[in-house]
Amino acid sequence: MPPLPHPPLPRLITYYQTHHTPSGDFISILPLLRHPGIHITHVILAAIHINEDPSGLTLNDHPPSHPRFTQLWAELRVLQASGVKVLGMLGGAAKGSYERLDGDDLDRFERYYGPLAQMVRDYGLDGLDLDVEEPMSLAGIIRLIDRLRSDFGPEFIITLAPVASALLSAKHNLSGFDYEALEVMRGKEIAWYNAQFYCGWGDCSNPAMYEMVLAKGWPPEKVVVGMVTNPKNGAGWVPWNVLGTVVPVLVGRNPRFGGVMGWEYFNSLPGGEERPWEWAQAMSALLRGLRTVPGVGEKDAAPATTTEPTKEASKPIDADPDAGEKEDTAPVPGEFEYHSDGGSEKDD
């Protein structure tokens, strides 16, 4: 009798914003394919910014066509050829992209939307992750979603990246619009939500908040648990000895568990900058239900105090460090030394 097929694993997603070392060496994403035991499903390339000049779209600090991205685009095509979906992240902590796509001026919308759509076509992105960390109207985000669906068809992946608390209350939100209302009105167009369970907006050190989100009525397959992969990337990092209990519980309790995402790839623990793929390797094991992860021991667990935001980490900090100033009300993922795209050019 042939063996029974294994059910598909939940989504395993990593964000990929830091593309170069301080010395300028490219940080390859291909180890996610080369090393055994890794079942990565999606890579989200960050961060696309719509700037004041409609033709001045940037990937972090440079135009997407800049020569520094030649290897990046080639490697992402290899991922896609291997079955990994590649999305682009629009926005993040750098404000302005969504303000420029919002409002009643349709001509203005077209001026700013056009270059974004062309970038998606030029580089063959499988979808867009809409990370709205600035005020935007419900009508504005619906118009953007509708236009993406119309232009790119039913297979195009549209996701959003709310802070986890926004799935519980519209008052604890960075996006302006109500995510429950959006789900009612356009949920069939949204593949899932990359919910940020960190930086005071959520907690993945135990299953409680995720279960609260499900109790609120969110379908488990549409809520991906987002976590920081290194305490340098933001407050609320959870050590592996804790994740080794929490993740299998989430998978075991919820057959339709939506998956896990990590912010971000380049310094993911336990391997750090030398072996960042080990995060995906270890997480793949946990998503299979294993409670111990080969190669991850007590030495990889940070002191317990690192699971709680420190006073310094709780200050307004920046998930997208080429972004400029942030308001005091938005303690989003942590400020860290950013080597993705130089440091002298800023987007606004």
Q: Write down the pLDDT at residue 171.
A: 86
Model confidence pLDDT, tens digit, residues 152-193: 999 999 999 999 999 999 888 989 999 999 999 999 999 999
Residue 6 has pLDDT above 80, yes or no: no
Across the chain, what does the average pLDDT equal?
Answer: 85
Residue 286 CA neighbour count, 13 Å, CB half:
25
More confident residue, 309 or 205: 205
Q: Which residues of 325-348 are buried (b: 16+ CB within 10 A; e: fewer)?
A: ebeeebbbbbbbebbbbeeeeebb
Model confidence pLDDT, tens digit, residues 91-109: 988 899 999 999 999 999 9
How many degrees, rounded to 5, is the angle at CA 270 between CA 268 and CA 272?
50
* pTM of the complete model: 0.84
Average confidence (pLDDT) over 289-318: 44
Tokens coding 96: 């302005």
> Percent of the chain, pLDDT > 70?
81
**Contact assessment for residue 58 and residue 30, using Cβ atoms and an 8 Å cutoff:** no
Give how far Cα 210 sits from Cα of 26, 30, 47, 241, 280, Å: 36, 31, 26, 19, 21
Tokens coding 217: 């009525």
Model confidence pLDDT, tens digit, residues 26-70: 999 999 999 999 999 999 999 999 999 999 999 999 999 999 999
Residue 210 has pLDDT above 70, yes or no: yes
Taking alpha carbons only, the member of 289, 210, 193, 194 closest to residue 245 is 289
How many degrees, rounded to 5, is the angle at CA 96 between CA 94 and CA 102?
140
The DSSP bridge pattern shows strands 42-49 and 58-59 to be: antiparallel
Q: What residue type is 7 in one-letter code?
A: P
Poorest-pLDDT segment among 91-95, 111-115, 140-144, 146-150: 91-95
Residue 323 has pLDDT above 80, yes or no: no
Give how far Cα 183 sits from Cα of 140, 164, 179, 215, 219, Å: 14, 15, 6, 15, 11
Class of domain 11-307: alpha beta
Angle at which helices 240-253 and 278-287 pack, to 10 degrees?
Answer: 40
Strand partners, 62: 59
**Phi and psi at residue 259, in whole multiples of 5°?**
120, -170
What residue ranges do the domains of the chain occupy? 11-307
